[in-house]
A and B are shown apart, each in its own frame.
Chain A
Amino acid sequence: MLRYLGKRFLLILPTIFVPLILVFLLLRLSPGDPAGMMLGDQATAEQIAALRSQLGLDQPIWIQFLLWLKGIVTLDLGNSIFFREPVMQIIPRYAGVTILLTLVALTLAVIIGITLGLVTAMNRNKPIDRGVVTTAVLGISLPEFWFALLLIFIFAVTLRWFPVAGYNPPSAGIVAFGATIFLPALALGVRQSALMTRMMRSSMLDVLNEPYITTARAQGLPESTVIGRYAMRTAAMPVVTVAGLSAGYMLGGAVAIEIIFALPGLGRMLVEAVGRRDYPLVEGGVLTISLVLAVLNLAIDVIYAILDPRIRYQ
């Protein structure tokens, strides 16, 4: 088990570093002087020179890379140009919202996907199956940000069941938190739930043909146990596998969703930092999203290992 997790961790390392290296290269190799861009037109040559040496931009590129690497490993990404405080103090104020939003959306998507996948597989080629499968094709083609706007129009503007925008942290109470997180999470989860529905359906149809399902029936176990325990146990595994990928897509989708619903999350912070050319904060945002993804993927690997004893021995 530990060896398995160690192996998984090594495989996750590229997920953390490749995006960061790309951003590093983009920043250093793009035309123009980042220091000049950050400070804007009014900056004096001295100010720019000072910032250049503060950011290490006057060093050769390989030294810059080593300094950058050291900063990442020690989680010290310097100061935000705009906020004038350490990046690693700013990030935690935004990260929680994004993590919660992603987790709620992922949970919603998994529940919806597994339920609908199960219902369609059990009613193969009946009207409910055809209906859900068609809806899932539409769901996969639904842009999250547009779906979010539709949800706002229906449930916030017209029906007034939810606030149009804003955020209450969980400390404000579960109802207040739920009211502000539900629509964003639903908007963020819809595409993934459609994908998971399709996946669960086809995986369930495969599993129902497996001999061990026939064995369970031949042992006299009731259909509820055969489906609920024997078939579900294996059929849900591909859905767990893609949950890691889904989490990645959701962290990306969260950018627009946070802007639409005015949630103070990492995605919104990132877009604002990009607008202000606050590069240390941009790097911090990318690093945090990488780390969140890595942790989520490791957690999913642990769940997977619990569900499937075979891989613990590989």
Chain B
Amino acid sequence: MTAHIASLPADRASPALDTRIVLEVEGLSLSLRNADGLLPIVTDVSFAIRQGEAVALVGESGCGKSITASAIMGIAPDNAEIGGTITLNGQAISGLSPRARRKLCGRHMGFIFQEPMTALHPTLSIGRQMTDTLRHNLGLSHAEATSRAAQLLDRVGIPRARDILKGYVHELSGGMRQRVMIALAISCGPSLVIADEPTTALDVTIQAQVLDLLDDMRRELDLAMLFITHDLEVVGDFCDRAVVMYAGDVVERGLSADIVRSPAHPYARGLIDAVPDHDDGRTRLTPILGTVPPVGQWPPGCRFAPRCNRVDAQCRTRPALELHGSTEARCWHPLEPSA
């Protein structure tokens, strides 16, 4: 079992240490029910996000990070069985009915999707999608909702907001679409925003603009932000803390600066080495050998063992998430902290 969040050593140096906790995820597990029984997708995920803080959920595709986010939002597939507790602004929401969960969406939690082209409705106008949300969640009139929608678009840096409201998603550029998506996610004043790979679908030049916008919004609105990404650069530059996931498990947790500088888990090391390093002149690019084991075929002990170069007999039993140096890692043979 993991240590209680409040006593996390990783919180000690957090810049947002003294603000209140917005989201607390404790022992979250998720399995999908299919014809053959239950298929575990995510096991024992715990982390917390404070007001004004950005936390990264990092990992390769298929490690369970997106479905963790959908479990928090309450939009996981119908056949998902979810365990553990999720606490939002002090209220345990994991036991609530689907209807009550839905009421939290928009008003208390906003969601930014990876691909705004498909995440925005193709045949309803931008304005209609925004005012539907504003009117339902905040009880605004049509006129109030329209002017609030225009303000929001203005705020996320969209010129001619009134015209864009009448337009459709296919008429916008990729960056504009993601700005609309961000405006929609923050429209009803949520305290938590979850961004699922918000820049993956964008051009490199646009990516930085959208990340800066998200960072601005977080500071301006004092948002708790969960950033789902596989990009370690984004983690280092935009997130206070990071949770590294592998095959449905949290393998490392701590301040993102610490993890990026001196990871304890070999998998986190591998992720960092796989990023081309622009700073030190020569490009290091060492991909992790092998692939993430498919769901349902996880090895019994450490799930990273088959791809790990530090593996020995002990790795056949499951390690706990323990403090090693400045971060917590789920590993029998963590890397030595670098100087």
Which residues in A have some Cβ–Cβ distance to B below 8 Å?
210-212, 214-223, 225, 229-230, 233-234, 237, 307-310, 313
The CA-CA distance from A313 to B124 in the complex, in Å, is 15
B32 within 8 A of A: no
Most A CB within 10 A of own CB, among B70, B102, B136: B102
Residues 59 to 118 of chain B near chain A (Cβ within 8 Å): 70, 73, 75, 102-107, 109-111, 113, 115, 118
CA distance A308 to B124 in the complex (A): 8
| Contact yes or no, A214 B119, CB < 8 A | yes
Give the contacting residue for B111; candidates A215, A308, A310; CB below 8 A.
A215
* In the bound complex, CA of A215 to CA of B116 (Å): 10
Complex contact B133–A220 (CB within 8 A):
yes
Chain B residues with CB under 8 Å of A221's CB are 106, 132-133, 136
Our pick among B115, B124, B188 for the contact of A233 (Cβ within 8 Å) is B124
Contact of B170 with A by CB under 8 A: yes
Q: How many residues of B contact A (CB 8 A)?
A: 33
Sorted from nearest, which 4 A-B pairs have the closest CB atoms?
A220-B106, A220-B105, A218-B111, A211-B119
CB neighbours of B103 from chain A (8 A): 220
Q: A217-B75, A225-B132 are in contact. List 16 more A-B contacts (CB 8 A).
A: A214-B119, A215-B111, A215-B113, A217-B105, A218-B110, A219-B105, A219-B106, A219-B132, A219-B137, A220-B105, A220-B106, A220-B188, A225-B136, A230-B121, A234-B123, A310-B122
B 218-267 contacts with A by CB, 8 A: none
Q: How near does chain B come to A15, taking the closest CB pair, in angstroms?
A: 27
Q: Is the CB of B168 closer than 8 A to any CB of chain A?
A: yes
How many interface contacts (CB-CB < 8 Å) are there between A and B? 85
The contact sample of 15 A-B pairs, CB cut-off 8 A, is A211-B115, A212-B118, A212-B119, A214-B113, A215-B111, A215-B120, A219-B111, A219-B133, A219-B188, A220-B106, A221-B106, A225-B136, A229-B124, A233-B121, A309-B170
Contact at A220–B136, with CB atoms within 8 Å?
Answer: yes
**Which B-chain residue is minimally distant from A309 (CB atoms)?**
B168
Per-residue contact bits, chain B 148-178, to A (CB 8 Å; 1 contact, 0 not): 0000000000000000000010110000000
- Whether A217 and B122, one on each chain, are in contact in the complex, defined by CB atoms closer than 8 angstroms, is no
CA distance A278 to B317 in the complex (A): 91
The closest CB in chain B to the CB of A231 belongs to B121
In the complex, the answer to whether B123 meets A310 with C-beta atoms within 8 Å is yes
- The residues of B that contact A215 with a CB separation of less than 8 Å are 111, 113, 119-121, 181, 184
Q: Which residue of A lies closest to B121 (CB)?
A: A212
CA distance A229 to B75 in the complex (A): 18
CA–CA, A230 and B123, complex, Å? 9
Q: Which residues of A contact B111 (CB under 8 A)?
A: 215, 218-219
* Nearest chain A CB to B306 CB, angstrom units: 32
Contact with A along B118-143 (1 / 0, CB 8 A): 11111111000100110011000000
Alpha-carbon distance between A211 and B201 when the two chains are bound, in angstroms: 14
Min CB distance B193 to A, Å, is: 11
Across the interface, name the chain A residue whose C-beta is closest to B102: A220
The distance in angstroms between the C-alpha atoms of A210 and B118, with both chains bound, is 7
Residues of B within 8 A of A308 (CB): 122-123
Residues of B within 8 A of A216 (CB): 121, 129, 132
| Contact between chains at B168 and A218 (CB < 8 Å) | no
Most chain-B CB neighbours within 10 Å: which of A210, A218, A225, A307?
A218
Contact yes or no, A222 B102, CB < 8 A: yes
CA distance A221 to B130 in the complex (A): 11
Q: Is the CB of A218 within 8 A of B105?
A: yes
Q: How far is the CB of A44 from chain B (nearest CB, A)?
A: 67
CA distance A309 to B171 in the complex (A): 10
CB pair B102 A217 closer than 8 Å: yes
Known A-B contacts A211-B119, A212-B118; the reply to A218 vs B136 at CB < 8 A is no
Instruction: Decide if A220 touches B118 in the complex (CB within 8 Å).
Output: no
Among the listed A214, A217, A218, A307, which residue makes an inter-chain contact with B123, where contact means beta carbons less than 8 Å apart?
A307
A212 — which chain B residues lie within 8 A by C-beta? 118-122
CB-CB nearest in chain A for B98: A223
Given A223-B102, A225-B132, CB of A310 within 8 Å of CB of B121: no
Q: Contacts A214-B75, A215-B111, A233-B121: A310 and B170 contacting too (C-beta < 8 A)?
A: yes
